[in-house]
Structure 1
Amino acid sequence: MSSMQALENARAIVAQADAKLEKLRAIEPYLIDLSLRENPVGSNIGQTLEDKLKILPKLREFGFKNISLGTLDYDMPDELEVDDDFMRQLHKRGVDMTGCFAFTALGRIEHGVFTPDPSQRKLKDYGVPNTVHEIYLSKDGMCEYGKYDLATLCRTLPASIRWLRENIRGDHGSAPRIFINIVDGCDAFAGNIEDTCKVLALLAEQPIEGVTIEDDRGTFLPFLVGAYVKVIRQFLPPPFKVLVHIHGGAGYENASVIEALLNGADGIWGGLPKRAATIGHASIGELLANLARLGNPHVERYGMEQLLPLATHLQELDDMAPVPNDLPVLGHNAYRLTFSGFRQKRDRFMDLVPEAIGGKYGYRVCAVISDPEVIARRLSEVTGRTVDHFPEKVTRQMICLMRRDLRAGLRIDYDKPPQLLQLYERAARDSEPRNPPSAAADHASTVS
């Protein structure tokens, strides 16, 4: 192959990638926020009624139009949950629930008579206008959790949708918006595609808003999730909506969401923070940040400058503990520079400055990589003094000392204020002129 032909091929390959970027920039994501349910189910503690009453207005203020108030299709429905109290309280107070959803389960048909599931009755009693209605389609899921076979499901599903349409008053008195969530969606496509496609064909004839699928263990590769979404689109073209919900498991979750969007998905449902029923999920907060990174204009309808503080507040509320430092995008260390060359810039392709999501840069000293700028700025954080108070001659000597310490077998956490200040004083003694921060120790106790 000639160099000219190789160059043309390279341009064609990059053009394909650019076309994908343009598609992602143009998407107006359809989001159902689940911060009132997805995040607390992964917490060791959960949310109280008072917590939920305070959270809902914050979600509205952030810009969410679609909010799930909770789950009604849980085991032992007679033993109520906080979600029940929350929805009943909203209904009792006459709070506007436009755009609100709750999760419900399939009813039953016996001897030709349809009986709604307890969750469906609760949806009506609590005045919630919309629902994500859950089914199972993998062979194991239908048997173990659904307690039905395919024939029974195909008889019951239209009747269950009909009951919802006849008994639930939707937004502003309209028909309810009904999503069918295939809880074991990825498993169903992988192991029972024929039955899954039969049900999709059935759903194409139903008066529903759309379909969602889950990767509830977070184990399916992104290209598989993309392929399954593409199959759904063969049966449910627009205006049907297609959403995905991807748990963390193998580390694919956010990549899987991008693949889903590129293959026809409209958006996702999930919580704003990372916390989820597993070790995390592809959160709405991460998706909004990643779309902002691409220059998607539609994310500006949300309070992006509040994304990081709000997500942090919600996760800290749920866990009664700090957000894990090394969480991508939303963690404390996500925007603490260890090396100045890692700084993201506002106008550079694929960068997202922390200010865009309500954060700011911090600095973290790492013995092997940190450069004079990072060291000086971390010293500024610790002491409260300006960056120019710390001469480059001294910060460079600090780098030399860290290298020497490691070669001598000393493993010291220099990011901690006492150790950092001791290192500075050592370097200042080795440098001329000496310039130790005499007041530094007075500030160190207040900086973590």
Structure 2
Amino acid sequence: MRFFGDYVLIYDTTLRDGTQAEGISLTVEDKLKIARKLDELGIHYIEGGWPGSNPKDMEFFERARKFSWKQARISAFGATRKAGMKAGDDPNIRALLEAETPVVAVVGKSWDLHVTTALKTTLEENLSMIRESVGLLKEHGREVVYDAEHFFDGYKANPAYALETLRAAEGAGADWIVLCDTNGGALPDEVREITNRIRRFIRKPLGIHTHNDGDLAVANSITAVSCGVRMVQGTINGFGERCGNANLCSVIPNLQFKMGYRCLEESSLRHLTEVSRYVSEIANMTPLNSQPFVGTSAFAHKGGIHVSAILKNPRTYEHLDPELVGNSRRVLVSELAGASNINYKAQELGIDISQDGDRTRELIAEIKELEYRGYQFEGAEASLELLLRRGCGQYEEFFTLESLKILVEKRPENGNGGGINSEAMIKLRVGDQIIHTAAEGDGPVNAVDNALRKALEEFYPCLKEMHLVDYKVRVLDGKDGTRANVRVLIESADSTGTWSTVGVSENIIEASWQALTDSMNYFLLRRCRKKD
């Protein structure tokens, strides 16, 4: 796999370096799922883990051997032999060979401080460790990626020795020499200057591996490529130890769409957002909305002037067509909204108000007043749609409240705290019928939810298919103490997706009622639209 020119090969280390991020732990099955997704995307190298460190990673390699990979070459990661030991006797080197991967990545020290302080050996012995480890792996027919750990720090401290470590790996037959900014503290100008110097002495192709401690991992990676580096190591979503690794979801589109290099097929890049969210889901990490290119906010527009401009030409406020990376444009409605926001959102929802300027202005005024009171519609688009439809006379309520009573009873037991019982009694009108029912719950909101369902499922059995996913309460002005307004956000879901609704009041039950009934009304509205 050596097509250079304007090609840049992508080496993904999400399954190894990415799992060193706080809060991430992947099972073998998780790692296989992610690896298959990366292979479908067209990633060139997938580093599966460190077989010498734990049985889980060795199992991954055993199972990976049975899979037919479309594009990716699977790589195992390890370190150079230990000081004073033959490479063939080192358990870590043997584990690399036993993984039976076509590619191995071996990390060695290039900073004299680490050689003498961390390894507690001599500079000459470290060079022997590099030469013998790389040489043995090459004797067994592996493609060897040599990772020069702490290279930029090492070069700044002792350039002659740092360069000598690279020559040791190159002389032993390493296929790639990867310059690592392991502490993540290098600046782009330093990366440019040092990489350009190294290219004068190292003939083997270079790679770059950067960390994000200075928030420059992506910048340093693309800077290195502009200096002739032809392999970029990184992780999906920038997962990694401390502040993370270079984020491939930003590196790849920057290289391909902004700098003219070829990394992946453009048809594959249209799945980049999907892969980003898939990896977050498997890793049980909440996706970062503001992540460039693939975040849900990456192409979201809120200011009225911005929306007015993108309706004329999206290039006015978008640096890239979102579809190129599989993302989509979003227009938010808030206190910053103008007529363009409302018209765009209404058009998106199939509501025609473009010819009614007065109604648009009334809706804008109503939304701004509600946002002033604490509502937030950019995070509750289901409530926004109901508001627009009600305002345009294109919506009929599925039920109306006649009365609601909630009893909360605390019963002390043997002088201790005891328990709290909640019961909701509700009277609803559905069409020309009145329903009166009651239900208990784990707290007053749950009791209201249970009573609502008990009353409505007779008329709308499909309500059994929806469920609450998340319930959030935020105090809007803490200085008012227990009289403060609260905002309740409810996220609900069925088999087809999720939606969010909002309610605001100084009474938490009232705010919850607003969000809860909006959620049910929105679900029923979607079902009615499907039937139509």
The alignment's TM-score, normalised by the length of structure 2, stands at 0.65
Q: How many residues end up aligned between the 2 structures?
A: 394
Distance 2:160 2:200 in 1: 14
Percent of residue pairs bearing the same amino acid type: 19
The one-letter code matched in structure 2 to 1:48 is: T
Corresponding residue of 1:377: 344
Residue equivalent to 1:146: 119
Residue by residue over 1:297-330, the C-alpha shift from the partner in whole angstroms, topping out at 9 and shown as x without a partner, is 6245261121110121012211x24312111222
Q: Deviations over 1:314-362 (max 9, x none)?
A: 12211x2431211122211112222323689788999321111112212
Q: Does 2:55 correspond to 1:55?
A: no
Secondary structure of the equivalent of 1:235? coil
Counterpart contact for 2:188–2:223, Cα < 8 Å: yes
Residue identity in the other structure for 2:287: V
In structure 2, the CA distance between the partners of 1:147 and 1:296, relative to structure 1 (3 Å rule), is same
Inter-CA distance 125–422: structure 2 relative to 1 (3 Å threshold): closer
| Partner residue, 1:119 | 92
2:334 touches 2:368 (CA, 8 Å); kept in 1?
no
Report matched runs for 1:222-371 at 5 Å: 222-237=188-203, 240-294=204-258, 296=260, 298-301=262-265, 303-318=268-283, 320-338=284-302, 339-340=306-307, 341=309, 351-368=319-336, 370-371=337-338
CA contact (8 A) 1:324 1:331 kept: yes
Distance 1:180 1:348, change over 3 A: farther
Instruction: Compute the displacement of 1:265 (Å).
Output: 1.4
Aligned to 2:155: 189
Deviation at 1:412, TM superposition (A): 4.1
Bigger mean CA deviation after superposition, 280-289 or 386-395: 386-395
Partner of residue 16, structure 1: none
Give the Cα separation in 2 of the matches to 1:184 and 1:135. 9
CA contact (8 A) 1:210 1:242 kept: yes
Give me the whole-angstrom Cα distance separating, in 1, the residues matched to 2:354 and 2:194: 58
* Structure 2 counterpart of 1:160, from 133, 136, 154: 133
Say whether 1:89 aligns with 2:46: no
In the alignment, is residue 101 of structure 1 matched against residue 75 of structure 2?
yes
CA contact (8 A) 1:68 1:102 kept: yes
Q: Aligned partners of 2:196 and 2:182: how far apart in 1?
A: 19
Q: Confirm or deny: 8 A CA contact 1:204 1:235 kept in the other structure.
A: no
Higher mean C-alpha displacement, 120-129 vs 134-143: 134-143
Distance 1:228 1:387 in 2: 59
Aligned residue for 1:178, secondary structure, equals strand
Gaps of 5+ in 2: 398-517, 527-532
Q: 1:41 to 1:257 in 2, by over 3 A?
A: same
Return 253-262 or 285-294, whichever deviates more.
285-294
1:154 corresponds to which letter in structure 2?
Answer: L
Unaligned segments of structure 1, at least 5 residues: 1-24, 169-174, 429-434
Find the aligned partners of 1:102 and 1:371 in 2 and give their Cα distance. Answer: 54
Aligned residues of 1:293 and 1:351 also touching (Cα < 8 A): no
Residues 330 and 184 of structure 1: CA distance in aligned 2, closer, same or farther (over 3 Å) = same
Counterpart code for 1:130: V
8 Å CA contact 1:344–1:353 kept in 2: the answer is: no
The secondary structure found in structure 2 opposite 1:226 is: helix
The one-letter code sitting in structure 1 at the alignment partner of 2:329 is Y
Shift of 1:417: 3.9
Which structure's relative contact order is higher, taking Cα pairs within 8 Å and 6+ residues apart? 1
CA contact (8 A) 2:184 2:214 kept: yes
Q: Assess if the C-alpha contact under 8 Å between 1:138 and 1:185 holds in 2.
A: yes
Q: For 1:275 and 1:412, locate their aligned partners in 2 and report how far apart those are by CA, in whole Å.
A: 33
Conservation of the 8 A alpha-carbon contact between 1:367 and 1:414: no
Is the Cα contact below 8 Å between 1:33 and 1:64 reproduced in 2?
yes
Corresponding letter in the other structure for 1:124: L
Indicate the structure with greater strand content: 2
What SS does the aligned partner of 1:128 have?
coil
- TM-superposed deviation, 1:50: 1.5
1:40 and 1:205 map into 2 onto residues whose CA distance is 32
What secondary structure does 2:237 align onto?
coil
Aligned match of 1:69: 48
State the Cα deviation string for residues 244-288 of structure 1 (Å, max 9, x = none): 122222322222122111122113112233322233332222122
What is the aligned partner in structure 2 of residue 414 from structure 1?
Answer: 377
> Match for residue 4 of structure 1?
none
CA RMSD of aligned residues (A): 3.5
Q: Which residue of 1 aligns with 2:109?
A: 136
Superposition deviation, residue 403 in structure 1:
6.2
Q: Is this contact kept in 1: 2:310–2:316, CA < 8 A?
A: no
Name 1:10's counterpart in structure 2. Answer: none
Of Structure 1 and Structure 2, the greater helix share is in 1
Pick closer, same or farther for the CA change 1:31–1:367 going to 2, 3 Å.
same
Q: Distance in 1 between matches of 2:148 and 2:231?
A: 15
SS in 2 for 1:333: coil
Counterpart amino acid of residue 272 in structure 2: L
Residue 198 of structure 1 deviates from its aligned partner by 2.4
- Measure the CA separation in 2 of the matches of 1:203 and 1:336: 47
Question: For residues 29 and 423 of structure 1, what CA distance do their matches in structure 2 show?
Answer: 49
